[in-house]
Chains A and B, each alone.
Chain A
Amino acid sequence: MKIINIIIALMIPGVLAAQPSGDEILDRIDENMSSETRHVISKMVIHGTRATRTIESETWSVGNEKAYTEYLAPAREKGTKMLKLEDQLWIYSPGTDRTIRISGHMLRQSVMGSDLSYEDMMDDPELRDKYDAVVTGSEEINGAGCWVVEMHANAPDVAYQLRKVWVDKVRYLPLKEELYAKSGTLLKKTELFDIRKVGNRWYPRKIVFKDMLKKGGGTEFIVEEIEFNVEVPEHLLSKAALR
């Protein structure tokens, strides 16, 4: 028994030495997840309290600043287009043939009845500058060993006081994330499933978003096709593309 204890005691410093810092983990996540440009064909499955709806869309994006999405199905949503340019968001509805800018209280509305709000889509992803990340432990998620990283806001102008992320130790993917309010209330949860290799990076095929204050089974975001660092047609990233 003593021998086992001695072995463990000898191993602990080695384990601690292998534990990356919170900032290192965030850098590795960025490296894996972000790309200059991206083209995605996806499905959004919204599990409401009464029914489930599936919405298909195609998105072209440049970094985190610019994105153009066109809804492909169902027929009711087909032709609806959304354009994000920096901190502005427009939506075009073919039914009314109108383009409206989503701002103010409209940003708080849910996107197509999902668990995502427009302001979630506008959320500033620059976590490194505004949060202090600390590794608080190690847990297993869906059989994968994960670092538990707690990010505490160090600036007042961020959306969430605390973000808790479970990062895959091998693939450096955030397999689960929880977002907390100032009061400590859990507001949102995101989980990543079906991780696959896309080129030289790991990427989830399914992401489940859940607004924890809202009833319903959450919203699944299923990636059908994804391409990184593709050429994004210039004309798609202007308001003219909406009509």
Chain B
Amino acid sequence: MLSIKLAIKNLLGAGLRTFLNVFILSVAFVVIIMQNGFIQGWNKQAKVDVVEWQYGEGQYWHENYDPYDPFSFQDAHTAIPERLNTARQEGTVAPILVTQATVYPEGRLKSIVLKGIDPRQKTISIPTDKLVREGEDVPAILGSRMAMNIKANVGDYLLVRWRDANGMFDAKELKITGLFRTDVPAVDLGQVWIALEELQQMTGLDNEATLIVIKDQSHAEMDLAGWEFQDLDELLYDMNQMIKSKSVGNAIMYLILLALALLAIFDTQVLSIFRRQKEIGTFIAMGMTRRQVIGVFTVEGTMHAVLSLIVGAIWGIPLLLQLKKTGLPMPEGYDQFGLPMGDSIIPAYSLGLVLVAVVIVTVTTAIVSYLPARKITKMNPNDAIRGKIQ
């Protein structure tokens, strides 16, 4: 208790120097929470979005299908298993046929992936109800990024050229009946969606699909010949890896900031011990052990962390709450990299996150406060009380 009283008295006595150290440390503290909050927020948001728009609760892939290898598409299709017929009627599974094609927006040639999906599906959020054919025109829907890239709008006709299952060219105009806005570029960029039956007819691949998205776990892990089940862990593997590497990158950033703050505290401690040798000698002369004196100085240093938590809370909580309300706007065009990301990232703070930040700041401050204080054990109290430099 004496140590704490002395520490507070000394810290307050140091005035501006203490304030600067505490403020810098509070910045590191708030930044740790903020950066991890954004990473957690993005992670949470992206996972919800990809499940909702792309992965469902898992997918069956044709054994030759590789989403990262467009060369695989032409051989990656087979008959949709009859066991899933009831679920198809209910819309709880969504078979998708994938093929390569070329569109000619305003007479420019652009390679795309043409995807056929059942208009009745209720598995993913793509508004497939707009693919129901009402007249002569073949309806098509696009994501807003794709529409922006090819300057297309609802009601426009889009000329598309493709090859059928045997490699023969065919061309047709599709009518754009809807645009959708999603945070998942993987169902938007470079893609055009039409009704599954239309694409099956166009390519001569009757009742065939490349992948099947499922809505609930009751259709997971079924033994379907020619199909391989991909659960969410497998589907989200790349995204998890990406978030992990992003977390490491961010940790480097805040560790640098933390290191700067801790360096300032370390310097302060070294200076204190050098300038307050008479005081140290007096403490020992009055009966304190060297360990108790080290304790006084370590507590004094660590009090910077405690004060920084208070100062950080004073200016950090309103800032973090405001960020949670408004989110961090992402620069325009960021989503063109293919990452699932909204217009802004809403941070997600948790008690665990705050506790981790508190522990990191407090423990590291205690360590850098203790290290210079160890010098006290080597001091001669007589010389110290005389103020003789040691």
A residues contacting B by CB (< 8 A) are 49, 103-105, 108-110, 153, 156-161, 179, 181-183, 185, 187, 211, 213-216
Query: Across the interface, do B102 and A108 meet the contact criterion of CB distance under 8 Å?
Result: yes
* Complex interface: chain A residues within 8 A of B240 (CB): none
A103 → chain B, closest Cβ, in Å?
6
Query: Across the interface, do A108 and B167 meet the contact criterion of CB distance under 8 Å?
Result: no
Q: Given A108-B102, A214-B104: A181 and B167 within 8 A (CB)?
A: no
Supplied contacts A49-B108, A183-B171, A213-B159, 17 more A-B pairs, CB within 8 Å: A49-B107, A104-B69, A157-B166, A157-B167, A158-B168, A159-B163, A159-B169, A160-B169, A161-B170, A179-B169, A182-B164, A182-B169, A185-B172, A187-B171, A214-B104, A214-B107, A216-B107
Q: How many pairs of A and B residues are in contact by the CB < 8 Å rule? A: 69
Query: Across the interface, do B171 and A213 meet the contact criterion of CB distance under 8 Å?
Result: yes
* Complex interface: chain B residues within 8 A of A187 (CB): 161, 169, 171
Query: Across the interface, do B107 and A160 meet the contact criterion of CB distance under 8 Å?
Result: no
Q: Is B70 an interface residue (CB 8 A)?
A: yes
A216 vs B109: C-alpha distance when bound (angstroms): 11
* Complex interface: chain B residues within 8 A of A110 (CB): 109
Query: Contact partner of B168 among A105, A108, A161, A215, CB < 8 A?
Result: A161
A37 → chain B, closest Cβ, in Å?
28
What is the chain A residue whose CB lies nearest that of B113? A105
* Complex interface: chain B residues within 8 A of A153 (CB): 168
Main secondary structure of the interface of B (DSSP, over half): mixed
* Complex interface: chain B residues within 8 A of A108 (CB): 100, 102, 111
Main secondary structure of the interface of A (DSSP, over half): loop
* Complex interface: chain A residues within 8 A of B108 (CB): 49, 214-215
Interface positions of B from 134 to 192, Cβ below 8 Å from A? 159, 161, 163-164, 166-172
A125 → chain B, closest Cβ, in Å?
15
How many B residues have CB within 8 A of the partner chain?
Answer: 23
A89 → chain B, closest Cβ, in Å?
13
Query: Across the interface, do A104 and B168 meet the contact criterion of CB distance under 8 Å?
Result: no
Query: Across the interface, do B111 and A109 meet the contact criterion of CB distance under 8 Å?
Result: yes
Q: Is B334 an interface residue (CB 8 A)?
A: no
Interface positions of B from 62 to 113, Cβ below 8 Å from A? 69-71, 73, 100, 102, 104, 106-109, 111
Q: Given A103-B71, A108-B102: A156 and B168 within 8 A (CB)?
A: yes
25 interchain pairs, CB-CB under 8 A: A49-B107, A104-B100, A105-B100, A105-B111, A110-B109, A156-B166, A156-B168, A158-B166, A159-B167, A159-B168, A160-B169, A161-B169, A181-B171, A182-B164, A183-B170, A183-B172, A185-B170, A185-B171, A187-B161, A213-B104, A213-B161, A213-B171, A214-B107, A215-B106, A216-B107
Query: Contact partner of A215 among B69, B107, B166, B169, CB < 8 A?
Result: B107
* Complex interface: chain B residues within 8 A of A109 (CB): 111
* Complex interface: chain B residues within 8 A of A157 (CB): 166-168
Q: Given A103-B71, A187-B161, A213-B159: A181 and B169 within 8 A (CB)?
A: yes
A159 vs B111: C-alpha distance when bound (angstroms): 17
* Complex interface: chain B residues within 8 A of A160 (CB): 168-169
A127 vs B73: C-alpha distance when bound (angstroms): 27
A126 → chain B, closest Cβ, in Å?
14
